Structure 1
Amino acid sequence: MTAALLEWGAPADRAGLAVLAVHGRGQDPAFMRATARRLGTAPVRFFAPEAEGNTWYPLSFLEPVERNQPALDRSLRTVEACLDQLAQAGFDGGRVVLWGFSQGACLLAHLVLTTPRPVAGLVLFTGGYLGTVPPSRPDDHVLRGVPVVLRSIEHDPWVPRHRVEETAGLLRQAGAEVDLRIDPGTEHVITDEACTAATELLTTKAQGEHVSVRKRG
């Protein structure tokens, strides 16, 4: 399975990290590219898939998981295929940050909690795991030490605060280092502070990877 990816950012041979950017419902990769301009500059290359019909699953992420099937499993396979493509391009899991907004953040949160695999970091803007029952805590330590930036709005119309907080708790239980902030407000938006926090994560991880490559060389 091969996914078409919109690419931008630093040239692949000079990028310290790859960022898999997953859009929300009714959006497309162009939205993530426009939002990436708010993240400042970092030596990273962005890769963004597009959901069929611009939605990764049909109903609310708060519905039982089975009600969002088979679209949910198909979308999870798409993300996994993207990660395989990045690995083939030279970006193994330790050099990939997962970044999602809204439905994209929900999809990524669900993926890492149900099928954990090595990643360099997570940036989740306004999202949480899917379903009515929390996923079982991953017990293979894949997420141990992984930095996570998790941001949301207190009275977001689509994503309740409690689900964001529950997702942060599950990630912490799995060993991730979670930076959670929920700002006041009622709109479904990405704040400037969220973009600043994401930029700091990307810059720190990318610079660390450059140092690691020099040492190996």
Structure 2
Amino acid sequence: MTPSLTEWGVPADRAALAVLAVHGRGQNPDFMHATAQRLGTVSARFFAPEAEGNTWYPLSFLEPVERNQPALDRSVRVLEACLDRLAEAGFGGDRVVLWGFSQGACLLSHLVLSAPRPLAGLVLFTGGYLGTTPPVPDEKALRGVPAVLRSIEDDPWVPRHRVEETAALLRQAGAEVDVRVDPGTEHIITDEACATATELLNAIAARAATH
């Protein structure tokens, strides 16, 4: 499987890190590209895969995992192939940040909690783990990995409790989690979320540049 990736940002040979940007349901890489413009200047190369039919899996992420198969497993394989592509381009796990919104954030939550790989950071906007039973993460899988989780109190698709439960699972896996849920009823990404993500990316880029 060779996924097609939309790319933007600093040229790969000069970028301190790579960001795998995963869009939500009904979106495409253009949404992540537009949102990345809100992040300001970051020494990063962005790579965005596109879901078949603009959907990574068919039903709500709150449904039992098996009800979203086989699309879910297929989408996980796409992300794993993307990470292999980044490694081939010179971006090892210590220089890769995973960033997703909505369904993309849910898919990334599922990936890092069920099939973790080395990574430099995690940014999840309005998403959480998939299924009705919480995964049991390896307590060392994400040791020291900084993670930013942001959502909206009364988001129409993603309940607050699932975001907070996901934050707890990431901490259990060793991640250093910054979680915030702002008041509101819209399915949006706030300016504060973008600003915090930018701070995280710049901190990781600065650390990568010293190694």
Please say whether Structure 1 and Structure 2 have the same fold, judged by a TM-score greater than 0.5.
yes
**Corresponding residue of 1:215:** none
1:48-71 Cα shifts (integer Å, max 9, x gaps): 000000000000000000000000
- Residue number in structure 2 paired with 1:159: 158
Unaligned runs of 5+ in 2: none
Counterpart mapping for 1:84-163 below 5 A: 84-139=84-139, 141-163=140-162
Quote the Cα distance in structure 2 between the aligned partners of 1:67 and 1:170.
22
TM-score in terms of structure 1 length: 0.96
- Name the counterpart of 1:63: 63
Q: How does 1:1-217 map to 2 (within 5 A)?
A: 1-139=1-139, 141-212=140-211
Q: 2: CA distance between counterparts of 1:137 and 1:90?
A: 28
What is the root-mean-square deviation of aligned Cα atoms in Å?
Answer: 0.5
Query: 1:137, CA displacement in angstroms?
Result: 2.0
Per-residue Cα deviation, 1:24-63 (whole angstroms, up to 9, x for no partner) = 0000000000000000101000000000000000000000
| Seq. identity, % | 78
For the residue of structure 1 that corresponds to 2:210, the secondary structure is helix
Q: Secondary structure at the match of 2:13?
A: helix
Structure 1: runs of 5 or more not aligned: 213-217
Q: Which whole-Å CA distance do the structure 2 matches of 1:49 and 1:93 have between them? A: 18
TM normalised by structure 2 equals 0.99
Q: Distance in 2 between matches of 1:164 and 1:209?
A: 29
Cα distance in structure 1, aligned partners of 2:204 and 2:23: 22
Q: Letter of the 2:22 partner, please give it.
A: V
Q: CA deviation at 1:208?
A: 1.0
SS at match of 2:82: helix
CA distance in 2, matches of 1:142, 1:209: 20
